[in-house]
Amino acid sequence: MEVTEGFVIQVDPESLRLAAGRADLVADDLAAAAAEAFAAAAEASWHLQTRGLGARITELHDGVLGTAGRLRYCADVYEAAEASWTLDTYGRGSALGAAAESALDLLSARYEGSDLDPLADARRLLAERRAHAVDGVAENLAALPDVRWVLPLLGSPPATTAAAALPSASVAATAAYRAFVARGRGTVPRGRELGDDPNGQRISVTVEKPRSSGEGAPVGMAGAARRIPQGPDDLVRVETYRFPDGHAEHAVYVQGTREMTQDGDWGVLPLPEAGKDASDMESNADTYLGDQKSEAYRGVERVIARALEQVDADPQDALHLFGHSQGGMIVERLASEGDLNVETVVSFASPQQAHLDDSVLHVNLAYTDDPVAGLVGEGVPGAAGAPGSAVITDTFDPGADPFAPLEPHRLEHYVALAAEADASDDRRLDAIDGVFDHLAEAQSVEVATGNVTRVSRDGAPVSGSSSPGDAG
C-alpha cells in the first residue's frame, strides 16, 4: 500500500520544506560541535584524535546540509509539477492558471544560471505518470485468452488469413483501453459541470423514514466502505449524526453499478434505457462520457434531499460522502457541483477524480490494476482538495485468469485496502482519521435508505410502485 498526496506528488511540498528547516537546525548544531572539536584539538595534547572527530562531524554536517538542499529541490519540483498541470488544465485566462504561471516564473527565476531545472524535472514527472498510469491494468489485460486459434478450424482460407492478421484479444483490449483513457474524461477540473441528459427518463425515488441506529460512527474508511449498500433494494444510505452542542452532520454512502446489460447494449447506444434499475451502464456512460446528470445521479441527489428533509436538516449541515465505483463517481461530482455543503469525499474505485475546492477533504482509494479505477487516467498530481487530502493505492495482482481484469474492482477488496490504510500510522492520513474520530463524538445516529428506479414513458414505474411525488 502506498499513501501519497496526489498521483504525482508524494508529500506536500511545505512538509518537505519544514523537514529541510529541521535539517538546517541539525546542521547548525553539528557545525558548532565541529568548531568545538577543532578548538579543543588546538589546545589538547591528544589533538590528532580530536581533530579527526572534528573532521567526521564536518562530514556529517555537509551530508545533512545536502539532504536539506535535496528536500527543498524536491519541494520545488513538486510545486512546479502542480503548477504546470494547473496551467495546462485551466489556461492562462483563468485565475488558477494565472497564479500557476506566476509560480512557475518565480521558480524559473530562482534557478536561473543553475544546473538544476525544477520545471524540466516536473515535466518529466508528469510525462512519466501520463505514460504509465494504466500499466497495472494492461498487465491484467494480458491474461485475456487468445482465441485466434479458433479461426483456422473453420477450414477456410479467409479465416486462416484473418487469424494471422488480427491482434490477440489482450493486445487489442490493451490498445483500446489506453486510447479510451487518453480521452481525458477521468479527471474533472473545477468548473466542469454536469448538464441535463437529452435522453433522460423519469425516475421513481423511494426513501424510508429515518430510524435510530445503535451502530455509531463507522470505524475508519473500512467501516465506511462496509456501509455502502449492496444489492437491489437500496442504492443510498444516509446517516444523521447529532452532537451535544445541537448541530448535526450527515454521512452518505452510494452503491456502484448494479446492472450491466439490462437492455442488452451495455449503455453504448445513446438511447433511452429500457431497464428499471437506474444504477446501470447507461447512467455510467452518461456521467463519465457525457458530463450529464444521469438517472442514477439525479436519483441519488433526490434521495439525499428527501432524507435530509425528513430529519429537518439545516442547509449548512456538513456532509461526508462515500461511494464505490459509479457511486464513487457520483459523490465526486456531487462535491464538485457545489450545491451541497460537502466537507469530506472518500471514493473507492471511482472512474473519475474531481479537482475539488480547498475546503473539501478528498481521499481516493484505487488498485493500480483495477480497470474501472484506471479510467481516472493521470489524475490530479497533487492534493485534489483540502490539505490532508490523499491518494491510497496498491496493486491487487489477481493472477493469470481470463476473468482477472475485473477482480480488483470488487468492493470487498477495497474494504481490505481501506483496512490496511486505517491500520497505518502514516501521518498523511491524520485528516481522514480525524473525520471518523469527530463523528464518533455524536450522541445519536439516525439512518435512512433510498432507492431509484426508472419510470416508463406512460408514467408508470418500470417495476414496483411509487407515490406521484416521488417521480420526476
pLDDT digits (tens, 9 = 90+) for 347-368: 999 999 999 999 999 999 999 9
pLDDT at 319: 99
Q: Are residues 95 and 109 in the same domain?
A: yes
- pLDDT, position 284: 93
pLDDT over 80 at 228, yes or no: yes
Tell whether 331 and 195 lie within a shared domain. yes
Residue 415 is predicted with a pLDDT of 99
More confident: 36 or 199 = 199
- DSSP structure class, residue 146: -
User: 328 and 353 in contact (C-beta within 8 Å)?
Assistant: no
Last residue of a domain, one of 177, 206, 239: 177
Long-range contacts, 176-180 (Cβ 8 Å, 24+) = 177/134, 177/137, 177/138, 177/141, 177/371, 177/374, 178/134, 178/138, 180/375
Could you give the angle at the alpha carbon of 120 between the alpha carbons of 84 and 109, nearest 5°? 80
Evaluate whether residue 426 is within a structural domain: yes
User: Checking DSSP bridges between strand 195-196 and strand 292-293, what pairing results, if any?
Assistant: parallel
Q: Which residues contact 98 (CB under 8 A, 6 or more apart)?
A: 92
Q: Are residues 162 and 229 in the same domain?
A: no
Record the cell numbers describing residue 144, joined without a space. Answer: 485475456
Give the whole-angstrom CA distance, residue 313 versus residue 333: 22
Do 153 and 215 sit in the same domain of this protein? no
pTM passes above 0.75: yes
CA distances from 243 to 187, 308, 359, 443 (A): 36, 16, 22, 5
Spatial distance between the Cα atoms of 62 and 37, rounded to a whole number of angstroms? 16
Residue 1, domain member (yes or no): no
Tell which wins on pLDDT, 268 or 104: 104
pLDDT value for 465: 34
Structural domain boundaries enclosing 29:
12-126
- Predicted local confidence at residue 269, as pLDDT: 59
Question: 241-245, 403-407, 444-448: lowest mean pLDDT where?
Answer: 403-407
What residue type is assigned to position 440 of the chain?
A
Kindly tell me if the per-residue pLDDT of 154 is higher than 60: no
The size of the chain, in residues, is 472
Q: pLDDT, tens digit, for every residue of 332-350?
A: 999 999 889 999 999 999 9
Q: Are residues 366 and 302 in the same domain?
A: yes
Which residue type, as a one-letter code, is found at position 382? G
State the pLDDT confidence band at 428, using cuts at 50, 70 and 90.
very high
- Pair (118, 229) in one structural domain: no
- Can you read off the three cell numbers belonging to residue 307? 432524507
DSSP-based three-state secondary structure for 406: helix
d(CA 412, CA 409): 9
For residue 7, being part of any structural domain is answered with no
pLDDT for residue 464 is more than 50: no
Give 277-309 pLDDT, tens digit per residue: 899 998 999 999 999 999 999 999 999 999 999
Distance CA 369, CA 136 (A): 4
CB neighbourhood size of 309 (10 A): 10
Task: Report the number of distinct structural domains present in the chain.
Answer: 3
Q: Are residues 153 and 280 in the same domain?
A: no
* Same-domain pairing of 277 and 150: no
- 319 and 453 in a single domain? The answer is yes
The upper half-sphere exposure of residue 294, i.e. CA atoms within 13 Å in the direction of its Cβ, equals 31
**What value does the mean pLDDT of the chain take?**
87
Burial class of residue 238 in the structure, from the number of CB atoms within 10 Å of its CB (0-12 exposed, 13-18 middle, 19+ buried): buried
Considering the domain architecture, whether residues 35 and 152 belong to the same structural domain is answered as: no
Co-location of 201 and 305 in the same domain: yes
Burial of 182 (0-12, 13-18, 19+ CB in 10 A): middle
Identity of the amino acid at 223: G
Of 48-62, 126-140, 213-227, which range is least confident? 48-62
Pick the most confident of 59-68, 164-173, 249-258: 249-258
